[in-house]
Chain A
Amino acid sequence: MSLPDDCSVSAEQLIAIRAAADRMLREGGGLGVFPTPVDDMMRAAKIEVVPMVIDEGYLAKLRRNAENAGRALLSALSKVLGVFDPRARIAFIDPETPDAKIPFLKLHEGGHAVLPWQSIFGLFEDCRMTLDPFVKAQFEREANVFASEVLFQMDIFAKDAGDLAFGMHAPLALAKRYGASIYATTRRYVMASDKICGVIIFNPAIIGAGGVAVSELRRAVVSPSFQTRFPNIIWPRRITTGETLARIIPANRMTKPRTISLTDANGDAQEFIAESFRTKHQTLVLIHATSTLRRRIHLPAQAGLSLL
């Protein structure tokens, strides 16, 4: 089952998020520094980052009083990747988070700290009140967008990406440059692109009966021009050994660019070029319209004009 949208925000939210991201980058000395100095910026924003580790004495005392409460705390901590305490201004991070994901996670929690309207969290935690789930989900998406804006230094990333040849090698190089995970970088790569492109993300293959491997769709993220040109593409929910699309799931680390066909809501087949990269946590399939590969010739006298 694919995961819900985790990064859509309205224009008004994006403006406010980018203003906060710009402030954090400037005040934390992050602009133009690579990899993005996340710890310096968190310090400048007076947000402490601490591993979320259970206190055994606290847990033992809790369990003596109420076993259920101890179980509930352990269950909560097993689910939590990060949590921000607004009263102490501390971001607690799951110490088992893969290294590559930590910068994004820190900045996500930092977003909860610096986006002013999210201060509501600190105001009602002692009350028996529920925050509307729609608003809570919105706050989480805003924190994701904030983290991406800061980690990839807002518009600097798109310029860097534009200087590289389009393809899977570009986000791999950019992930190292910005100190980000390949997953977050590839998502940013397509979302910041002016090309008709996208990334389809599959969970690691699960081997079932008869040795058949099944890769489930996690999510698909596309560029604005892709959304305009192909608004009705139907993403494959899973890819199983033996089917035509299985050749985009790499046996090793990467596949070379290959032509694939996806169907839109009208039942029409649309062709794309796909190349894939597999990590321990997912397979990323970068797709783009054939025209993306065509070389652009820039005319120096007319900066805005390009020829296909």
Chain B
Amino acid sequence: MSDENPKDEESIDLGGFLKSIRKSRGFSLRDVERLTEGAISNGYLSQLENGGIDKPSAVMLHRLAATYKLDYQDIMKRAGFLTEAEEPLNRVATSVLGELTSQEEDQLLAFLGFLRSQKK
């Protein structure tokens, strides 16, 4: 078990995971508030850890990832914001009229890859 996985991390929810990570870092709720210069209040974090916040914002999850030195993508997965899919969607930052299908996204991403390769 790495020091980032102080408990059986696969079996606990986001709140429980964040709580166990915070404790493994030796931080109190107020320490986190201080470390984030008030951006994550101890009240907010307490709610988050206890499952009182259904959909935390990516802003907050990114801050927590930075504070705890965790992988941001991993936290987003744990929050349920990134999920495995046979036909994945929303992988690219776009302004679109309507919505892109998974196949359209595949082709757009491949085309962006081609344009990147042309610039090298």
Contacts and interface: CB of A to CB of B under 8 A. Distances in A.
B58 A135 contact: yes
Given A79-B97, A88-B119, A131 B89 contact: yes
Contact of B95 (A55, A81, A116, A125): A81
Q: Classify the interface of chain A: helix, strand, loop or mixed.
A: helix
B80 interface: yes
11 contacts: A68-B103, A76-B108, A82-B94, A83-B93, A83-B94, A105-B95, A118-B58, A119-B62, A121-B93, A130-B91, A132-B81
Nearest to A113: B93
Given A82-B94, A116-B62, A121-B93, A134 B108 contact: no
Given A105-B95, A117-B59, A129-B91, 14 more contacts: A10-B57, A16-B59, A55-B111, A73-B110, A79-B104, A82-B94, A88-B116, A118-B58, A131-B89, A132-B80, A134-B55, A135-B58, A135-B76, A139-B58
B112 A85 contact: yes
Interface string A55-69: 100100010000011
A120 B59 contact: no
B88 interface: yes
Nearest to A48: B119
B52 to A, nearest CB: 15
A77 interface: yes
B61 interface: yes
A117 B58 contact: yes
A77 B97 CA distance: 10
Interface string A90-127: 10100000000000010011001000111111011101
Given A79-B98, A130-B88, A132-B80, A125 B109 contact: yes
Contacts of A81: 94-97
A18 B93 CA distance: 20
A123 B82 CA distance: 11
Contacts of A80: 94-96, 100, 108
B78 to A, nearest CB: 12
Contacts of B1: none
